[in-house]
Chains A and B, each alone.
Chain A
Amino acid sequence: MEIFSPINLLAIFFGTLVGIFIGALPGLGATIAVILLLPITFNMPPLAAILMLLAAFQGAEYGGSISAIVLGIPGTAAAAPTVLDGNALAKKVSPGKAFGYSLSASVIGGIAGGLLLFTAEPIAMFALRFSDPEFFLIGILGILTITSLGSKDNIKSMISAVLGLMAGTVGIDMFTGVQRFTWNRLELADGFSLIALLVGMYAFTEIFVMISEDLRKRYHFNAKGLRSAITFKEFRETFKFTGVGSIIGVILGIVPGVGASASSWLSYTAARKMSKKQEEFGKGNPEGIVAPEAANNATVGGSLLPLMSLGIPGSPAMAVIMGAFIIHGVRPGPNLFTNNTNLVYGIFYGFLFTTIAMYLVGKLVTPLFSRALLVKVPLLAPAVLLVSIVGVYADSKLTFELWVALIAGIVGLVMRLLDFSIPAFFLAFVLSPILEESLRRTLLISDGSYAIFLQRPFSVALLVLIVIVLAAPYAFKAIKLRRLRKQQTAT
């Protein structure tokens, strides 16, 4: 019943609205939508705060399809496949038809992700049998998964992760109370502010990238037929592909680092292979819209699952949401189900409401937000910069954090240009205290011996998974090379 309280419903509605708007603006994305809303959640009850952020995440994944459809430019990376058939259908029939397919598929994908969450409790109950050695290895596995599977350059991603772990050691040591790497600054006693680093490395960096593009660029599109609408027959005819996208999105969402972008491309490819109208893909085939759109929303629920059950965020936006949990004094992970049962089920049921809100708000605001794409970069960049700056200040009321955010923004820009991984940095930063705590406790138990990791069956299983994840990129490369050689000898 708590879900129906005015504050929770308002939080879901507002989060969805902001998420769709930010997601529609090319280059900003779901993570920025969640980051910009995070400071607003400080004074809210935990359930409302988390539902607002989840609603923003969901909304942004749908919102990314708006500019993909009207402009042919994806609003989020995960909306890139939607450009191919969404923009073509918008020109062939109307943008509203394409929006209709996108919105309905996003809702179905979101519901699929939401239903998956109800499997979190059994996983969490299983994880309660884990102890410090296993939690340390789960953290390592999460970091290695994102560096191995979700990046261009594995070694640079690992460097990014180590930098994130290092950033997480700044502050007072939890065991001894000693100050580490603070240069005697009181502002660093609690470590770097998650908000300052997030805003700096995502929002500031993105703004610098926006400024580096053509400032005189103007978007043009036909503003007629923007209201989203499909018939029940059209919905039914594409339901199979919506289902395929949902399943792929949910499964890939669970794996940290893979993300909505990979799942939407995989779904698009799968839909094209399964379709009886393959030749129509890229020319406005609705099947090419529903599959990736279902996948990118299903990923939201999928990436929430490891956060709730194991305390490992499945994506950068989930790392921000993990920050929201911590700010409200709630530690995500297996103990969440025993210590905060009401909150957990409030999130599960509330998540399903966020998909309904996305449908209702999406129907209303899509035509309006499409027109927002006409806002020029010279106006948009300073506006987003200001909101980000105020968000950082609102967190701590310290101007010191603004400097941290600015430096993080410059570092983030360099990292982005040289293929280092900002998501790996953040996942590691968020996991650093947990990793250090569990490692030091493990070594205290074992008197400093690492052999303890080989003496526990769950730890050995996790070590095997770690080896598989480390070997995976090289295995994929070897398979690709073999295929290429076979093709060359065949020709």
Chain B
Amino acid sequence: MAVSYKKATYATLLLFILLGLGYLKMAGDIVVNRTDTMGPHYFPTLLGIALIVLCLISWIQTARKQEDGEVRLSNLKFILWSIVVSVLYFAAWEVFGYFYVITFVYLMILFMMLSDKKTIRVWLFNAVVSLGLLLFIYLIFDKLLSIRL
């Protein structure tokens, strides 16, 4: 996947400007004492303004550049699927628990998704690696550090 560097920068700066405006609005809503000019809203207000100003400067700098570049991200579908699978994994962990079972499934999905071969041998090898990783996690975190997962 390739996108124009300038367009991607504009989109990101616009998002940051909107973030800055939202942040300023929320900072303005923090009222402790109407006479306190340097209260909990003061530093955030400075930061919100700084963000918007810097984004506008960056926008102008980007617009003034003659050449445009490309932002390339190969294997985008694998990255997106990794994110989707991770979202489902976190949700399943939150709702059901059973960390070791769902983590085994998570690892197998990722291993198989990223492997170029999908043979039975590869499945078995990945299953063994998954179990090995889970054993490592169990020994270090559960047994050694007493962190229940």
Chain A interface residues toward B at CB < 8 A: 40, 42-43, 153, 155-156, 158-159, 162-163, 165-166, 169, 173, 175-176, 178, 180-181, 207-208, 211-216, 377-379, 381-383, 385-387, 389-390, 393-394, 397, 399, 402-403, 406, 410, 413-414, 417-418, 420, 435-436, 439-440, 443-444, 448
Interface string of B81-114 (1 = CB under 8 A from A): 0110011001001100000000100110011001
Besides the known contacts A162-B54, A166-B48, A443-B38, 9 further A-B residue pairs in the complex with CB atoms under 8 A apart: A155-B61, A207-B82, A208-B82, A211-B79, A213-B74, A215-B116, A402-B93, A436-B43, A448-B37
**Across-interface contacts of A212 in B (CB, < 8 A):** 73-76, 78-79
Contact B82 A211 (CB under 8 A): yes
Q: Which residues of B are interface residues toward A (Cβ below 8 A)?
A: 5, 8-9, 12, 16, 23, 26-27, 30, 32, 37-40, 42-44, 47-48, 50-51, 54-55, 57-58, 61, 71, 73-76, 78-79, 82-83, 86-87, 90, 93-94, 103, 106-107, 110-111, 114-116, 126, 129, 133, 137, 140-141, 145-147, 149
Q: Choose one: B12, B32, B126, B145; the contact of A414 (CB below 8 Å).
A: B12
Given A169-B47, A381-B110, A406-B90: A181 touches B79 (CB 8 Å cut-off): no
**A418 x B40 contact (CB < 8 A):** no
Q: Which residues of chain A are near B43, meaning CB under 8 Å?
A: 169, 435-436, 439-440
Report whether B54 and A418 are in contact in the complex, using a CB–CB cutoff of 8 Å. Answer: no
A440: B residues at CB distance < 8 A = 38, 42-43
* Contacting residues, chain B, for A178 (C-beta < 8 A): 30, 32, 40
Nearest chain A CB to B30's CB is how many angstroms away?
A: 6
7 tightest A-B CB contacts, nearest first: A378-B114, A173-B40, A382-B110, A436-B43, A399-B94, A155-B58, A162-B51
Residues from chain A with a CB closer than 8 A to the CB of B50 are: 162
| Chain B residue nearest in CB terms to A207 | B82
Closest Cβ–Cβ distance, residue B77 to chain A (whole Å)? 10
| A443: chain B residues within 8 A (beta carbon) | 38, 42
Is the Cβ of A382 less than 8 Å from the Cβ of B114? yes
Question: A402 to chain B: which residues have CB within 8 Å?
Answer: 90, 93
Beyond A176-B32, A208-B79, A212-B75, whether A158 also contacts B38 by CB under 8 A is no
CB < 8 Å: which of B8, B37, B107 contacts A382? Answer: B107
Q: Is the CB of B54 within 8 A of A159?
A: yes
Cross-chain contact A159 with B26 (CB below 8 angstroms):
no
Does the CB pair A418–B23 fall under 8 Å? no
Contacts of A439 in B (CB 8 A): 43
Q: Please, how many angstroms separate the alpha-carbon atoms of A42 and B44 in the complex?
A: 31
Q: Name which of B8, B37, B47 has the most chain A CB atoms within 10 A of its CB.
A: B47
**Residue in chain B with minimal CB distance to A393:** B149
Interchain nearest-CB distance for B138 vs A (Å): 10
Residues of chain A within 8 A of B111, CB atoms compared: 378-379, 382
Check A403–B90 contact: CB distance below 8 A. Answer: yes
Chain B hits for A175, CB < 8 A: 39-40
Partner of B23, one of A159, A181, A403: A181
B42-A159 in contact (CB<8A): no
List residues of chain B with CB within 8 A of the CB of A156: 58
Question: Which of B8, B48, B106, B114 is within 8 Å of A215, CB to CB?
Answer: B114
Q: A159-B55, A169-B47, A212-B74 are in contact. Are A406 and B86 (CB under 8 A)?
A: yes
Q: Which residues of B contact A379 (CB under 8 A)?
A: 111, 126, 129
B135 CB, min distance to chain A CBs, angstroms = 12
A216/B107 contact (C-beta < 8 A), A399-B93, A418-B71, A444-B38 known: no
Minimal Cβ-Cβ distance residue in A for B48: A166
Q: Which residues of A contact B149 (CB under 8 A)?
A: 390, 393
Contacts of B146 in A (CB 8 A): 43
Residue numbers in B under 8 Å from A40 (CB-CB)? 140, 145
- In the complex formed, the residue of B with least CB distance to A215 is B114
Query: How many Å lie between the Cα of A351 and that of B64 in the bound state?
Result: 49
Query: Shortest CB–CB separation between residue A133 and chain B, in angstroms?
Result: 14
CA distance A418 to B12 in the complex (A): 9
A181 adjacent to B26 (CB under 8 Å) = yes
CB distance A216 to B116 under 8 Å?
A: yes
Of A162, A213, A215, A383, which contacts B47 at CB under 8 A?
A: A162
Alpha-carbon distance A473/B53, docked complex (angstroms): 20
Whether the pair A159, B38 counts as a contact (CB closer than 8 A) is no
Is A386 a contact of B51 with CB atoms below 8 Å? no
Pick the most buried of A166, A214, A403: most chain B CB atoms within 10 A of its CB: A166
Q: Which residues of B contact A216 (CB under 8 A)?
A: 116
Rounded to whole angstroms, the CA-CA distance of A413 and B76 in the bound complex is: 12
- How many whole Å from A328's CB to the nearest CB in chain B? 15
**Minimum Cβ distance to chain A for residue B50 (Å):** 5
Residue of A nearest to B3 (CB): A417
Residues of B with C-beta under 8 A to A403: 90
Tell me whether B73 and A417 are in contact (CB under 8 A). Answer: yes
Contacting residues, chain B, for A417 (C-beta < 8 A): 8, 71, 73
Complex-state Cα separation, A444 to B36, whole angstroms: 10
Residues in B with CB closer than 8 Å to A159 are: 16, 51, 54-55, 58
When C-beta atoms are compared, the residue in chain B nearest to A174 turns out to be B40
B5 touches A377 (CB 8 A): no
Contact check, A180 vs B44: say whether CB atoms are below 8 A apart. Answer: yes
CA distance A222 to B42 in the complex (A): 61
Chain A nearest Cβ from B84, distance in angstroms: 11
List of A residues within 8 angstroms of B47 by Cβ: 162, 165-166, 169
A214 to B74: give the CA distance in the assembly, Å. 8
Which residue on A lies nearest to B37, using beta carbons?
Answer: A448
Docked Cα-Cα span, A410 to B80, in Å, equals: 10
> Chain A residue with minimal CB distance to B36?
A176
A173: min CB distance to chain B, Å:
4
In the assembled complex, which residues on chain B have CB atoms less than 8 Å from the CB atom of A176? Answer: 32, 39-40
